[in-house]
């Protein structure tokens, strides 16, 4: 009799309810984690687009320090734009030069955004002619790529 009782206890395991609860918890975690991971990977890819504008941004800043205006900086920005556009993740980098407000717009390929449309990263500058410095304001379209 004792032998049968021992065997009965050794064969006990998890109940069906316990297993279903564990599966439900795993399902809920996966439902939260997968969209978060997709958003994270899109932002990571878009970071390359943001970093590609750094050479153009730096060229404009250096030029503005010497000339106190952004209008004459076309040669400086052309070199930075050519280097950045060599990146396969960027379609174009356009620079608009006005006296006190340079604008850099980098357009990413659809593969980077993963959304079926290209994303854009825009840097709008405000030139402080007294000090020759530029203060940049970044914006993204779609906004979720930068936040």
Q: Where along the chain do its domains lie? A: 2-145
Mean pLDDT of all residues in 4-22: 77
Mean pLDDT of all residues in 67-88: 70
pLDDT tens-digit readout, 81-117: 776 667 667 777 888 887 778 888 888 877 665 666 6
- Asked whether the predicted pLDDT for residue 8 surpasses 70, the reply is no
Helices (H) and strands (E) in the chain, counts: 5, 4
pLDDT tens-digit readout, 46-66: 888 888 888 888 888 888 887
Mean per-residue pLDDT over the chain, rounded: 80
Task: State pTM to two decimals.
Answer: 0.69
- Asked whether the predicted pLDDT for residue 27 surpasses 90, the reply is yes
Helix 54-67 vs helix 16-52: crossing angle, to nearest 10: 40
DSSP state of 144: G
Mean pLDDT of all residues in 27-33: 93
Residue 132 to residues 18, 53, 68, 86, 97: CA-CA distances in angstroms?
A: 68, 20, 5, 29, 15
Q: Which residues share a beta bridge with 141?
A: 120
Task: Give dist(CA 114, CA 39) in Å, integer.
Answer: 10
DSSP state of 86: T
Mean pLDDT of all residues in 56-83: 75
**CB neighbours (10 Å) of residue 86?**
9
Which pLDDT score is estimated for 69? 67
Mean pLDDT of all residues in 120-145: 85
Which pLDDT score is estimated for 43? 83
- Asked whether the predicted pLDDT for residue 21 surpasses 70, the reply is yes
Task: Give dist(CA 126, CA 134) in Å, integer.
Answer: 5
Task: Give dist(CA 108, CA 88) in Å, integer.
Answer: 9
**Cβ 49 vs Cβ 139: under 8 Å:** no
Which pLDDT score is estimated for 94? 80
- Asked whether the predicted pLDDT for residue 70 surpasses 70, the reply is no
Which pLDDT score is estimated for 48? 82
């Amino acid at each position: 009799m004792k032998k049968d009782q021992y065997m009965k206890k050794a064969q006990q395991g998890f109940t069906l309810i316990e297993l279903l609860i564990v599966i439900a918890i795993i399902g809920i975690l996966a439902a939260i984690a997968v969209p978060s991971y997709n958003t994270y990977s899109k932002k990571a890819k878009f970071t390359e687009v943001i970093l590609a504008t750094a050479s153009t941004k730096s060229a404009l800043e250096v030029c503005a320090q010497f000339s106190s205006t952004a209008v004459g900086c076309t040669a400086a920005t052309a070199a930075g734009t050519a280097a950045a556009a060599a990146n396969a993740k960027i379609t174009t980098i356009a620079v608009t030069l006005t006296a006190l407000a340079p604008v850099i717009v980098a357009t990413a390929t659809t593969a980077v955004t993963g959304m079926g449309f290209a994303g854009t990263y825009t840097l709008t500058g405000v030139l402080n002619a007294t000090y020759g410095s530029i203060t940049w304001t970044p914006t993204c379209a779609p906004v979720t790529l930068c936040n």
